[in-house]
Structure 1
Amino acid sequence: MGFLNWLRSPRAAFQPNDGGRQVTTPDELADVIRSQAMSSAAGMPVNANTAMRVAAVYACVRLISGPAANLPIDVKERVSDDVRQNRPDLPLWNVLRRKPNSWQTPSQFKRMLQAHLLLRGNAYAQIVWSRGRVIGLLPLHPDRMKVDQLDDLSLRYTYRRRDGGEVRLDQKDVFHLVGLTLDGVLGVSAITYARETIGLSMAQERHGSTTFKNAARPSMVLKHPEKLGKEGQEFLRASLDAYRQGGESEGKALILEEGMSTEALSMTSEDAQWIESRKFSRSDIAMFFGVPPHMIGDTEKTTSWGSGIEQQSIGFVTYTLEDYLTTWEETINKDLITDPSIYAKFNRRALVRGDIKTRTDHYVKMLQWGVYSPNEVRAREDENPRDDGDVYYDPPNTAGQIEDNNGDGNDPKEPS
């Protein structure tokens, strides 16, 4: 049986170790080969899997996926225009807060889908319905999903299973997170547009590894005024090896004989340019993902945005994390909720969980202005209520109120 005939057989299925796309037909094989051949100008193949081997890409994906995974999602109900209340009795609360499926925790599920969204522009999960309510979410790998928009503008999803079979899914059965999109249906991946930058970084990593492996450069040379014989070379080499061995001679003087002298080797212009280009690639990758450079270890330009690192961190929350959190909330409301009075919202207060000073200052101001009661503050800190803790304090600003100085219960008239 020829290779192509064997490939056409229903039994033929190639499954990569990363759980990605399966190949069952010659056309699919050709498509995979073309995608793997999408090399950058630096000659490095760049895709979602190879890009994660670049330290800057991995750091950006980890930093953005963390808050989306760790922030709790509240399912709330609009009781009235002014009143909102949590609905832990709904099955969706249990799905989003406790158990999305039989093998993942909520943080694992959200982190996985957020990573798919960052690396591929789309993230999918199959919705498990029961009596009109969501009782489970099953993650689907985006590399095995095909999306078509029909003539009536609805979406049809075709998913390739691990065994090579295909499953048609209606739009109501798919939870679909979409990143930056150009057609309103599928999101685009940052990896696609950052291919040259990431490929350059991968090439630099390979160049550095090869240099250290095969062409390590000395930091110092020894100069002899005359010709050094073979016996002298062996003696000098043994002496230097004994001097360097184990680092015990660190800081001690090196004794030279026969008029020998030392000369330090400075960094070449090529070395300096290689180091600078690596820094440039790292900053460029951070820019593509919207991550402040200092958060991935580049602290040379910490004052280039706002007044420093603090302002960069605030900008990361405002302009990067908020974008993805809003995408999650709106997609949950669109795909998982049918009651217009129910909605999902991330508890963004958890972002300052590690900053005790900011959290304390916020609570003090909310207590002073009567926004929170002591028991509400204690509840946010996962503490039990106290008996006298349901009081709301009057705001300290009493402008516009006129004291009753006469004590007769009648407010005096304002002066004309």
Structure 2
Amino acid sequence: MGILDLFRGKAAAVTASQPRAEASGGAGFVSLDDPLVVEYLRTGMMTASGFTVNPETALRNPSMFRAVSLISNSIGMLPLHLIEQKTKEKAKAHPLYRILHRKPNGYQSAFDFRASMQMRALVHRNSYARILRSTDLRTGKPTIIGLIPLESKRMTVTLSPSWRMDYVYQPVSGPRVRYQAEEIFHLRGASLDGLNGFSLVEQAREAIGLALSAELAAGRMFKHGTLVGGALSHKGTLSDPAFERLKASLAEKEGADNAGKNLILEEGMEWKAYGSNAKDSQMTELRKLQVEEIARISGVPRPLLMVDETSWGSGIEALGQFFVAYALNPWFEAWQQAIERCLLDEDEAEIYEAKFNPGALLRGSLKEQGEYLSKALGAGGHQPWIHYDEARDTMDLPAREKPINPMMNHNGGPPLEGEGNENAA
């Protein structure tokens, strides 16, 4: 369906995936103010390769989906805590701690909420959540009790003349709803206008369109093209009996079970093998180049998009550090400051801060962790700088009662009170 058909009101031809709305001027026509129409006009245009790229079609590209899901799932799975700035202790008594760390609403886990919000911010420029508040009967202050995600492409954000953010949301049914800045949790990345972030889909539109076109061309080649590994050559004319015997011989060798069996050639025939031509090689290089373009825009290292086998093994630790430093750290900061801006008042922002813990992604091998912790505890003449329980917490072990000298019972000293000799060894 063409864009003009959309505005002529051919509603019967509009599929469920295309934007549609009714204007007050008459049934069957769309309003140019509708957020879905704006989104369609902004991200649904055709690329130079002839492919229409929007968030839905872009995520059909394996490399784009891998890059987006890696960032989103990493943000979702890493611990996010509200901590006190002075003591660095987890602020478990604060209501926001439970919402951020465990249960943002009644139907999502913390992983579900953060991963979906992150994915929307990556492909739709922004992600939004409705802040639910209730009055605390003890203090009389409003307390955040939940965060409900809102569909990004149905939200319009503007800056009012009084320099306040103004949010207008179009639900699936019913009239539009206007929200104040205090009612919306707004996550965005780097921005030109200060209101909307960048969309990876928009920035990589041409690269994704070319990648989708290459996939389509390869699929059509396999469907309609002829894939021949070689040909049989004969100087003269093959006799009918020889032709029939050759057909039967070839038919007997079809299928994987007959792979590797030899051909019996008739009347002096010769086999000529064909290698891949320059055109086929260029198609392969083009598809690799598009993966590299998506890696460049998303910040995800190429090996994590499963295109470089040589970087695995000894380089996996460096890859993890690269991924955290250049793909995740900007989003850590975006989340942490969005929480401070939207979910903490001025007084609370001086006391608390939200922090991700990327330690699980940065850990090396058990040997490297053991060397690091032993030096941190003072082994080898080093000045100790972490506590015994902090070392156990790094390895996700529970805290234990310890002697005055934490190394004493490891060097043959008496066992701790209440412990058997097996724990003192």
Shorter-chain TM-score tier: 0.7 to 0.9
For 1:84, what is the secondary structure of its paired residue? Answer: coil
Q: 1:60 — aligned with what?
A: 67
Q: State the distance in 1 between where 2:16 and 2:7 align.
A: 21
Q: State the distance in 2 between where 1:250 and 1:166 align.
A: 65
Q: 1:194 — aligned with what?
A: 204
How far did 1:15 drift? 8.9
Q: 2:289 — aligned with what?
A: 280
Which region of structure 1 is more displaced relative to structure 2, 358-367 or 47-56? 358-367
Q: 2:22 — aligned with what?
A: 24
1:38 paired with 2:52, answer no
Which region of structure 1 is more displaced relative to structure 2, 375-384 or 165-174? 375-384
Residues 168 and 176 of structure 2 are in contact (CA less than 8 Å); yes or no, is this contact kept in structure 1?
A: yes
Residues 81 and 97 of structure 2 are in contact (CA less than 8 Å); yes or no, is this contact kept in structure 1?
A: yes
Select which of 225, 239, 243 maps to 2:253.
Answer: 243
1:373 paired with 2:387, answer yes
Aligned positions, number: 380
Which region of structure 1 is more displaced relative to structure 2, 129-138 or 101-110? 129-138
How far did 1:135 drift? 1.2
Cα deviation 1:189-240 (Å, max 9, x = unaligned): 1211211111000000000000001113111111122212455444323321
Residues 230 and 274 of structure 2 are in contact (CA less than 8 Å); yes or no, is this contact kept in structure 1?
A: yes
1:325 paired with 2:311, answer no
Task: From the superposition, tell whether residues 377 and 117 of structure 1 become closer, same or farther in structure 2 (CA, over 3 Å).
Answer: same
Q: State the distance in 2 between where 1:180 and 1:248 align.
A: 56
Task: From the superposition, tell whether residues 63 and 30 of structure 1 become closer, same or farther in structure 2 (CA, over 3 Å).
Answer: closer
How far did 1:358 drift? 3.9
Q: 2:139 — aligned with what?
A: none
C-alpha RMSD over aligned residues: 3.0
Cα deviation 1:88-146 (Å, max 9, x = unaligned): 11111111111111111100111101111111221111111123222111011111100
Q: State the distance in 1 between where 2:326 and 2:368 align.
A: 20
TM-score, with normalisation over the residues of structure 1? 0.83
For 1:49, what is the secondary structure of its paired residue? Answer: helix
Code of the residue aligned with 2:388 in structure 1: it is: P
In structure 2, list runs of 5 or more residues that go unmatched.
Answer: 24-29, 136-141, 408-425
Calculate percent identity across the aligned residue pairs: 32
TM-score, with normalisation over the residues of structure 2? 0.81
Code of the residue aligned with 1:101 in structure 2: it is: N
Cα deviation 1:55-79 (Å, max 9, x = unaligned): 1101101111122111111111134
Q: 1:407 — aligned with what?
A: none
Q: 2:159 — aligned with what?
A: 149
Q: State the distance in 1 between where 2:37 and 2:112 align.
A: 33
Residues 375 and 385 of structure 1 are in contact (CA less than 8 Å); yes or no, is this contact kept in structure 2?
A: yes
Select which of 263, 275, 283 maps to 1:266.
Answer: 275
Cα deviation 1:301-351 (Å, max 9, x = unaligned): 859xxx966434322211221111111111111111121201111112232
In structure 1, list runs of 5 or more residues that go unmatched.
Answer: 394-416
Code of the residue aligned with 2:340 in structure 1: it is: N
Q: 2:318 — aligned with what?
A: 311
- Mapping of 1:138-177 within 5 angstroms? 138-177=148-187
Q: State the distance in 2 between where 1:296 and 1:390 align.
A: 50
Task: From the superposition, tell whether residues 110 and 4 of structure 1 become closer, same or farther in structure 2 (CA, over 3 Å).
Answer: closer
Residues 84 and 91 of structure 2 are in contact (CA less than 8 Å); yes or no, is this contact kept in structure 1?
A: yes
